[in-house]
Chains A and B, each alone.
Chain A
Amino acid sequence: MTPNTYGLIKSATNVISGISMIAIIVLGAAYMSFSNAFVFQDVKIEIVNNPVEQSRDIEFMMIGSKKFECNSTEVYGTAYHADGHMHRLDKFTKQYTRNTRPGEPVPNQWHMKVPDDMVEGGVYRVSMTGNFVCNYLIFQTEKSQTYDNILLEVEPR
C-alpha cells in the first residue's frame, strides 16, 4: 500500500467515523426525547353528565394535543369510591376517535357503561388509563398515560 493510499483510507475512515458518531448522538438524543415524552400534553378529561342518571352512560370529554403519532391499544378507567372499593370501566357504548392527529389540541369524547356492580351509586374518583404504540422517525415504543381524579357521581340503579 502506497503512503498516498494509506493516507486516503485513514482520512476516509476519519470522516465515516465522525459521521457515524454524529448519527449516534443525534439518534440517541432523539430517542431519549421520544421515550421520555408523555403521549398527551395540555390534556383535560371530564365527565360531562354528572350525576349519571339511571338509564344513562358515563359521558367523557377530553381535549389534548399529541406530540407524536400514537395509536391507542387499550383504554380503561378505574372508579375509586371513598370507602375503598373500586370498579373497572371498560365497556364503551360510544367509541372515542382513534389516532387523532398530532401537533394541535383535538377534542375527543366517549361513553362508557356504568358497571353492573355499581348499583349503590355514589361519588367516585375515576382514573383513565391509555396504553399506546407511538412512532417517531424510525423509532417505535409502547407508552402508557393515566389521568387521575375525574369526578364521577352515579345515581343509585
Chain B
Amino acid sequence: MDVRRNQKIAQQVERWDLYARLTPTIFLVGSLFLILFKIINFETAFYVGLVGFAFTAVIWWWWAIFTIKYLVTVLNRTSKNLQDTAIEISQISTEVKQLKDDT
C-alpha cells in the first residue's frame, strides 16, 4: 500500500514539475497574444493571472501539507521498524553467542 502511495506521490511531483515548467510561459505568451489582437485587455489578463496564481498557491499549499504529513508518518514508521529490527538482530546475535558458548 505504501509503495503504491509513494508512486502516486512521485507522479504528483512530476505533474507539479511539468505544471511549473509550462504554465508561466504559456500564460505569458497566451496573454500577450490575446492582448495584441485586442481579444482581452491588460486588466482581464492581470485578474486572470492573479486568480490563477492564488488558486495554484492554495492547491499547492494543501498538497504540500498532506504530502509532508504522509512522508513524516512513513519516516517515523520506517525508523521504528528499523529500531525493532536492530533490537531483534542484537537479541539473535546474543542467543547465537550463548548457543556457541554452550556447545
A interface residues, Cβ below 8 angstroms from B: 10, 13-14, 16-17, 20-21, 23-24, 28, 31-32, 35, 138-141
Contacts A17-B20, A28-B50 given; indicate if A23 touches B28 (C-beta within 8 A): yes
* Pair B22/A17 contact, Cβ less than 8 Å: yes
SS class, residues of chain A in contact with chain B: helix
Q: How large is the interface on B (under 10, 10 to 19, 20 to 34, 35 or more residues)?
A: 10 to 19
Could you show 18 A-B contacts with beta carbons less than 8 Å apart? A13-B21, A17-B20, A17-B21, A17-B22, A17-B23, A17-B24, A17-B25, A20-B28, A20-B29, A21-B24, A24-B27, A24-B49, A28-B49, A28-B50, A31-B42, A31-B46, A138-B42, A141-B42
Chain A, Cβ-Cβ closest to B35: A138
- List residues of B (23-72) whose CB comes within 8 Å of A's CBs: 23-25, 27-29, 42-43, 46, 49-50
Please state if A139 and B28 are interface contacts (CB–CB under 8 Å): no
The distance in angstroms between the C-alpha atoms of A10 and B21, with both chains bound, is 9
Q: Is the interface of B mostly helix, strand, loop or mixed?
A: helix
Q: How far is the CA of A140 from the CA of B46 in the complex (A)?
A: 13
Closest Cβ neighbor of B50 among chain A residues:
A28
Known contacts A20-B28, A28-B50: A14-B42 contact under CB 8 Å = no
Residues of chain A within 8 A (CB-CB) of B22 are: 13, 17
Check if A28 sits within 8 Å of B46, measured CB to CB. Answer: yes
Give the nearest-CB partner of A34 in chain B: B42
Given contacts A35-B43, A139-B42, list 20 more A-B pairs with CB under 8 A. Answer: A13-B25, A16-B25, A17-B20, A17-B22, A17-B24, A20-B27, A20-B28, A20-B29, A24-B24, A24-B27, A24-B28, A24-B49, A28-B46, A28-B49, A28-B50, A31-B42, A31-B46, A32-B46, A138-B42, A141-B43
